[in-house]
Amino acid sequence: MKRMIFTACMAIAFLTASAQSNPYIVKTKGVKKSAQTHMQEELAEAQQEEEEASQDFISQNFKFHSLCDWEKGMKFMVMPEKYDLVVKTFTDASTEKEVSSMTLKYKIMVYQGHDESKDGHARINFICQDNGKPYYYEIGYGTFDDYCFQKTGVPTLAYLGDVDIAKEKLMDKTLYTKTKYYRIDTEFDGEGYQDVEVDKDMEVKVVAVGVGSRKYPVKIIVEDKNGNQFFQNVTMSKTNCGMRDDEFVADEARYLFYNSFELQDDIMSISSKNYKQFIGKVVHTKFPTKMLNEVTSKQQAIPRLAEYSIESITPHKNDDMATVKLKNTTLGNYFYAECYLDQYKCVNEPEQFFGAIFAPGPGKKVVTSEASRAMIRAGHVGIGMSEGEVEMAAGEADKVEPGQGGHYFWIFKRSNDKLLYVEFDGSGVVKKTSVKDANGGAAKKSNGKAKAKKVTKPEKPSKEREGWLNGEATPIDM
């Protein structure tokens, strides 16, 4: 019994020392060393749980390697999960004895090809870079050719090729967060973590890249402008991750690189050689901005997370900017953005860079009624609209004020020294709109009973104009 306890303590101490000196093991700052007894608790917990058991940055740099295509010299790190600690994945080829995954944790395995044992079982062979010993993983059934086409792969192994490339390509790069959910480390000598929430589309800098887990082998640690660090383990090439493509759904989807981060430099910088590949791409606004509305021929305030597809890109002849035509994916109307395509040509106006305004992928989905769509296209706010519809028509409010009986007001500053007041009821539906002078002048109300403006010659108003005249809508730029 004393010998078993001594052996366990020595193994724990060795793992701790390995974690401290291994360059692939990275941690967010401020993490404290856990007690060595935590590894014993983790092992005990694992024993209990055993019974319950397009040309882009990724495709250019991270090639998927099927087990059938593995080449000698490919490196992997043993990263067992809790249930792996009680399953002996590898066999020591020199002794023919199975080896505990706990003793191999954090060790680097170098692929050496495959062969068959004397009893006809296929074996996948490795040399441990840390101790020089040969190990193999035995396939329990079928031939190597039958097994290698599956996504199963070799258990516990995280592919280090992805980690090395990510370290080369991402260190010190500027990224943007694409989800709210990330993690911070809670243990120096283990995989303990705490979930944290951050703002989406926040600018961060990559400060460390290391190994994550078998499923998500690349651990990317980023830091925001306030010095806060957090990380995400992501999959890049999916080599040996053990998951099928159709399993990256629901909560698992955020562990795809593009669902956690946007790489500004490589994704959103458009050169003259690759205009065509961006046509038809879906993008969304990172921040509130203004674009030219084709219907009204006026600049319209656009909220963050508004979704568009790129229809065309027309470079200017006399400067470094371009006109990007975008189609609103909800309403189908068109907008025009004047921006720089190359971030290195907008040093004096970085906010006008295409990649600073837009991010790839879908934005916020807004359900609109048929009655509201025509008014929104024309930039009008109407009674009965939802908050999302008002944002589509007028952008984000400059100010929010509480009202009586659960009502509240969104206030928009207009370009002609006017203030547009939009009154919502407690359920988030527009009940009234009014326009006031910025200096506190009288309001022009729209309560559903406004009389139509008289005209000297009868004419049939447009649908947008008709809604306005009937008191159902208030134009944005009064």
Residues 446 and 374 in one domain: yes
Indicate whether 376 and 297 sit together in one domain.
no
Show which of 303, 329, 360 is a domain's final residue. 360
Q: What is the pLDDT of residues 403-449, one digit of tens each?
A: 899 999 999 988 778 899 999 998 999 999 999 887 765 544 444 44
Task: Classify each residue of 413-424 as buried b or exposed e, where b means 16 or more C-beta atoms within 10 Å of its C-beta.
Answer: ebeeebbbbbbb
Is residue 301 one of the residues assigned to a domain? yes
Has residue 337 been placed in a domain?
Answer: yes
Residue of higher predicted confidence among 21 and 334: 334
pLDDT digits (tens, 9 = 90+) for 240-278: 999 988 888 888 888 999 889 987 654 445 544 456 778
Report if residue 448 sits inside a domain. yes
Residues 462, 378 share a domain: yes
Residue 168 lies in a domain: no
Same domain, residue pair 467 and 390: yes
Q: Specify whether the backbone of 49 is left (phi greater than 0), alpha (psi in -120 to 50) or beta.
A: alpha
Evaluate whether residue 347 is within a structural domain. yes
| Domain annotation covers residue 378 | yes
Question: Do residues 326 and 420 share a domain?
Answer: no
pTM, 2 dp: 0.52
Domain end position, chosen among 305, 328, 360: 360
Q: What does the alpha-carbon distance between residue 341 and residue 338 come to, in Å, rounded to a whole number?
A: 10
List the domain range (segments joined by +) for residue 308.
Answer: 268-360
Q: What is the pLDDT of residues 17-57, one digit of tens each?
A: 555 667 888 888 777 665 444 545 554 554 444 333 334 67
Q: How confident is the model at residue 10 (pLDDT cuts 50, 70, 90)?
A: low
Contact predicate 79/157, CB 8 Å: yes
Same-domain check for residues 440 and 420:
yes
CATH classification at residue 433: 3.30.1450
Q: 457 and 424 in one domain?
A: yes
Count: domains in the chain? 2
Flag whether 382 is in a domain: yes
Residue pair 104/56 in contact (Cβ under 8 Å)? The answer is: no
The whole-number pLDDT of residue 389 equals 94
Side chain identity at 182, as an amino acid letter?
Y
Burial class, 286, CB count within 10 angstroms (exposed 0-12 / middle 13-18 / buried 19+): buried
Q: Which residue among 360, 387, 408 closes a domain?
A: 360
Q: Using one digit for the tens of pLDDT, what is the confidence trace for 142-156?
A: 889 889 888 889 999
